[in-house]
Amino acid sequence: MRKKALSAVALAAVGAMAVSSLAMAGDVANKDKPLVWFNRQPSNSSTGELDKDALNFNTSTYYVGFDANQGAELQGEMVAKYIEDHIDTIDQNGDGTIGYVLAIGDIGHNDSIARTRGVRKALGTAVEKDGGIDSNPVGTNTDGSATDVQDGKITVNGKDYVVRELASQEMKNSAGATWDAATAGNAISTWSASFGDQIDVVVSNNDGMGMAMFNGWAQANNRPTFGYDANSDAVAAIADGYGGTISQHADVQAYLTLRVLRNLLDGVDVNTGITTADEKGNVLTDQDCKYVDDERSYYALNLAVTADNYKDFLDSTKINDAVSTQLDESTSPKKKVWLDIYNSADNFLGSTYVPLLQQYDKLLNLDVEYIQGDGQTESNITNRLADPSAYDAFAINMVKTDNAASYTALLQ
């Protein structure tokens, strides 16, 4: 795993922004209250360009997520290494072509785009488009004629193999919800019925969709499946043939989401308990996360989870020991936070992220109101923020990365 230190200049800059005390939230206008965007970074869903207006909504606004590009590279490298290590058995029909199918979560989501690009880059199937790797779904490509990808090549023990993306699609259901596991399950059923003997590897942008394909077809047919998120069920399934997954350090992300708000509410340096120890000794390391100053963003670093280490990741809801000590309520008094999850059916957020948040909110003395969205419309969430003045801080997880203004408009 790459180690990236937080720069002293960045830390000094971000620390300076937290100097003014927000301890008396009743005296703070809604537009000035602490705000953390998390999991879905405000950005243009077509170009990926960051929404700097949203990230700089006020001096107490930050984003918490994970290093999408580093994680995407890890996933691609994990799949490529597995193919090389199992080259004698992976080409099940013996045609000299390693065929894979790819479940794409959301064609307009930066993380989904990065993961698709990471897999294609590692497998040699990437095609350049508009200065970057094309991340569009190809539909069906069993003959290798698609223009959004190309055939790759892998050489093992002196023998050349073709690597082909046989099919890929966005897993979006009829109601408009993306990252949809049921849609992925239907897709693998269709693909396997049409060209199942050509499928050697199954790859997914997340574990929710990956497990739907694994349970629906891949496990019974001995096809390794690779996902992302290190959900507990996916990690456990590695013992049964699930190829691997990527931990995006959800324990670190969930902590950062609430810790940044806690520090801003207390009026202390925003890196307290993050890069510098708090009075209880809570502190993270540069192996856990990094801060990018011009993006006002904290990013957790990723870890590959494979058959070699999966037992260390079986409990995805275990909080990080290094930041597990309760704060004193005398110095960090109880504060009320409004926090939403874009989709109540999202496997990663529901089964991993929220349980972690619910443990950290107690340690950080935060009274968090959790709002669950439908994964389709922002209004399903924003309509439940009728009185922002009732809260001291906000943590927002948008349905679409373009829609930050739908939330900030309520705080003006």
Q: How do residues 23-67 score in pLDDT, each as one tens digit?
A: 444 589 999 999 999 999 999 988 889 999 999 999 999 999 999
Poorest-pLDDT segment among 20-29, 186-195, 196-205? 20-29
Examine residue 5 and state whether it is found in any structural domain, yes or no.
no
pLDDT at 45: 83
In angstroms, the CA 184 to CA 167 distance is: 12
CB proximity list for 82: less than 8 A, separation 6 or greater: 90, 201, 224, 226, 243, 244, 306
Residue 181 has pLDDT above 70, yes or no: yes
- Does 208 lie in the same domain as 100? yes
- Does 112 lie in the same domain as 256? no
- Does 258 lie in the same domain as 229? no
CB proximity list for 16: less than 8 A, separation 6 or greater: none
Pair type for strands 159-170 and 139-140: antiparallel
Boundary (domain end) residue, out of 247, 270, 289:
247
Tokens representing residue 398 in the block: 């948008």
Examine residue 24 and state whether it is found in any structural domain, yes or no.
no
In angstroms, the CA 118 to CA 139 distance is: 19
User: SS3 for 310?
Assistant: helix
Mean pLDDT of 198-226: 98
pLDDT at 81: 97
Cβ atoms within 10 A of the Cβ of 159, count? 9
| Triad 307, 170, 374: Cα angle to 5° | 95
- Specify the amino acid at residue 294: D
In angstroms, the CA 400 to CA 396 distance is: 11
- Does 190 lie in the same domain as 233? yes
User: Contact at 8 Å (CB) between 282 and 392?
Assistant: no
Boundary (domain end) residue, out of 247, 275, 297:
247
| C-alpha separations of 259 from 1, 102, 185, 242, 373 in Å | 24, 36, 37, 34, 23
pLDDT at 14: 47
* Structural domain span for residue 379: 36-66+252-406
User: Contact at 8 Å (CB) between 179 and 206?
Assistant: yes
Distance of CA 305 to the CA centre of its chain: 15
pLDDT at 154: 96
Of the CA atoms within 13 Å of residue 355, those in its CB half-sphere come to 13
Three-state secondary structure of 46-66: CCCCECHHHHCCCCCEEEEEE
In angstroms, the CA 105 to CA 111 distance is: 9
Examine residue 307 and state whether it is found in any structural domain, yes or no.
yes
Which has more confidence, 10 or 288? 288
- Does 271 lie in the same domain as 379? yes
Band of the pLDDT at 1, cuts 50, 70, 90? very low
DSSP 57-109: SSTTEEEEEE-HHHHHHHHHHHHHHHHHHTHHHH-TT-SSEEEEEEEES-TT-
Longest dimension (CA), the chain: 71
With CA atoms as reference, report the closest residue to 21 among 5, 34, 9: 34
Mean pLDDT of 395-400: 96
Beta bridge partners of 289: 300
Segments in 311-376 forming alpha helices (H): 347-348, 354-363
Q: How many domains does the chain have?
A: 2
Residue 272 has pLDDT above 60, yes or no: yes
pLDDT at 46: 80
Q: Is 8 exposed, middle or buried (0-12, 13-18, 19+ CB in 10 A)?
A: exposed
Residue 16 has pLDDT above 60, yes or no: no
Mean pLDDT, the chain, integer: 93
- Does 316 lie in the same domain as 228? no
| Triad 364, 365, 370: Cα angle to 5° | 90
- Does 371 lie in the same domain as 256? yes
- Does 370 lie in the same domain as 322? yes
Tens digit of pLDDT for each residue in 65-122? 999 899 999 999 999 999 999 999 999 999 999 999 999 999 988 899 999 999 999 9
In angstroms, the CA 91 to CA 93 distance is: 6
Q: List b or e across 121-140, with b for residues whose CB sees 16 or more CB atoms inside 10 angstroms.
A: bbbebbeeeeeebbbbbbeb
pLDDT at 27: 82
Boundary (domain end) residue, out of 247, 278, 299:
247
- Does 351 lie in the same domain as 335? yes
